[in-house]
Structure 1
Amino acid sequence: MFKRIGLFILTNLAILVMLSIILNLVSWFFGVDFSQIAGAGQNYVSLLIFAAVIGFSGSIISLMMSKTIAKNSMGVQMIDIEHPRNEVERWLVQTVAKLAETKGVAMPEVGIYHGEPNAFATGPSKNNSLVAVSDGLLASMNKEEVAAVLGHEMSHVANGDMVTMTLMQGVINTFVVFLSRVIGNIVDRGILRNESDAPGAGYYITSLVLDMVLGLLGSMLVAAFSRYREYRADAGAAEALGSPVPMINALARLGGQQPSELPGNVKGFGISGGMGSLFATHPPIEARIKALRELQN
């Protein structure tokens, strides 16, 4: 608990420091005046550049740190790929290696963590990734079902989902920051008639409210795309194993259990979790099983 809080704080501090550095570098190299993003002289180009830096920096930094954050926050015990300690680790390494070859990606790091049935993949690129499974999942599924889950996670890796989701989140963050400040300035100067050169309370209040409202709407779009990716990853697992049956069985088994909650940076890349709303990162298991059964026809 305290480790996760500490990592969250350190990650956000790193993002703030990097934002400050990037904004100063952009201002210095390109002569962008970020004092013009609000007020009477609001400059849309300066604001868009500011919004892009704010929107993408946090997502990209989180992506680059994703493996380290996942290892520490989840307490992942890494497997020495060259020297597995037991038969379970040896089988996991061999299965992941075979899937990596099938998917045409580099061998990822492999780990096991303590928890209820779940698994996840993360990493900054398809050739620099981590796949981890919980001991609860290993204990509750047979090898064929675990292989299907690993196929699902390796499909996320091969599809480049981590990078795609980062870019999508960055674009949405950029538009949220940009639109909220444009509308905030319009409200401040056009409706509340602020005639000062500096932005007034209307700008700050409107921008803050719109950051939250537009951010929620953006989160729905990200979640909808995440659900689409889950169907693709399920299909990828079925293709890798030559049949959708193992993935169907794995999902059916998960449907009768309570999967563990994954931290935010890997929640969208688990085998299950966050279902039942517009903000869900995963479709209902019943819908996923139905889609897999249609592949049999």
Structure 2
Amino acid sequence: MKRIGLFLLTNIAVIAVAMITMNILGVGSYMQGTSLNLNNLFMFALIFGFAGSFVSLAMSKWMAKMSTGAQVITVARNADEQWLLETVQRQAAKAGIKTPEVAVYNSPEPNAFATGMTKNSSLVAVSTGLMRSMTQNEVEAVLGHEVAHVANGDMVTMALLQGVLNTFVIFFAKIVAYVVDRVILKNEEEGHSLAFIVVDIVAQILFGILASIVAMWFSRKREFHADNGGAYLAGKENMIAALRRLQTMQPGELPDQMAAFGISAKKSSFGDLFKSHPDLQDRIDALQATPNEQLKVA
């Protein structure tokens, strides 16, 4: 129920931001009589496409805390929390970024994630299950992986990519709907017909699937870079050991907004093209093939 409420709240915020932006920029209707104004349509698609990705990015830390129940460590209550704070602080300094907020969320399954709008306003969170099931060296490597995501600017990069993909999905879906409605079905009524709306929805779903393939391909590439950064920050052998440990465990499920930035993810039901993370063995092989002098935070 909480996730449904957060989903609705996010979409309301997206619509509000997009409408305000369109009013400020004076973007008119893309449907003018029976004609399609491509300039207005592109601006409409651009605004709604980027509004969705950047509203989600701006709300990401708050959403993460609300959806997972992550508790930010402000004052360490025990030795484990003190170690977490000190480790992330040390890694952030080495990566050249401001220390992220550090949080723990209650879940028996092992996972961790990073989120936040900028490199210097971020959050790194680990599950209680990960803390219990891994050695300290392995947890340090997982933290390094997440700090590397932050230092690499992956959250912003993914938001930009998603904004571009959203823009083209909306733009081309409405063109297809217009062609079907006006050219094939020869509808001459002004405005949006039922056929236009139905075809638009179907086309957005189909183009959205193609966009997801592109986004997941980029996400998998980004994971190799984060592993490389984690090895640089916490040691190559520790990073490999952490990935090997994850091979023996079922990863914890994360909300969609954080799943791409988790240390691992469950296998996609739709095949390899829709995986946000490479296979763990591929990640281990890539690290083993990387010379120590090439380990870095990008």
* TM-score, normalised relative to structure 2: 0.92
Q: For the Cα contact (< 8 Å) 1:244–1:295, is it kept in 2?
A: no
Instruction: Find the counterpart in structure 2 of residue 288 from structure 1.
Output: 283
**2:72 and 2:193 mapped to 1: Cα distance?**
53
What runs of 5+ residues in structure 2 fail to find an aligned partner? 293-298
For residue 256 of structure 2, give the secondary structure of its aligned residue in structure 1: coil
- When residues 68 and 78 of structure 1 are mapped into structure 2, their CA distance, relative to the original with a 3 A threshold, is same
The one-letter code sitting in structure 1 at the alignment partner of 2:100 is P
2:140 counterpart (125, 130, 147):
147
State yes or no: 1:104 paired with 2:82: no
**2:46 and 2:96 mapped to 1: Cα distance?**
33
Instruction: Find the counterpart in structure 1 of residue 231 from structure 2.
Output: 238
**1:9 and 1:206 mapped to 2: Cα distance?**
24
The one-letter code sitting in structure 1 at the alignment partner of 2:21 is I
1:101 to partner: Cα distance: 0.6
Instruction: Find the counterpart in structure 2 of residue 122 from structure 1.
Output: 115
Q: For the Cα contact (< 8 Å) 2:111–2:262, is it kept in 1?
A: yes
1:159 to partner: Cα distance: 0.5
1:199 to partner: Cα distance: 3.9
Q: Deviations over 1:276-296 (max 9, x none)?
A: 531111111111111111115
**1:219 and 1:20 mapped to 2: Cα distance?**
25
**2:37 and 2:248 mapped to 1: Cα distance?**
55
The one-letter code sitting in structure 2 at the alignment partner of 1:292 is L
Instruction: Find the counterpart in structure 2 of residue 58 from structure 1.
Output: 52
The one-letter code sitting in structure 2 at the alignment partner of 1:56 is F
* TM-score, normalised relative to structure 1: 0.93
**Count of aligned positions:** 288
Q: How does 1:207-286 map to 2 (within 5 A)?
A: 207-241=200-234, 243-276=235-268, 277=271, 278-286=273-281
State yes or no: 1:84 paired with 2:76: yes
Instruction: Find the counterpart in structure 1 of residue 66 from structure 2.
Output: 72
Instruction: Find the counterpart in structure 2 of residue 156 from structure 1.
Output: 149
Write out the 4+ residue segments of structure 1 that deviate beyond 6 Å after TM superposition.
Answer: none
- When residues 274 and 175 of structure 1 are mapped into structure 2, their CA distance, relative to the original with a 3 A threshold, is farther
For residue 270 of structure 1, give the secondary structure of its aligned residue in structure 2: coil
The one-letter code sitting in structure 1 at the alignment partner of 2:173 is S
* CA-based RMSD: 1.5
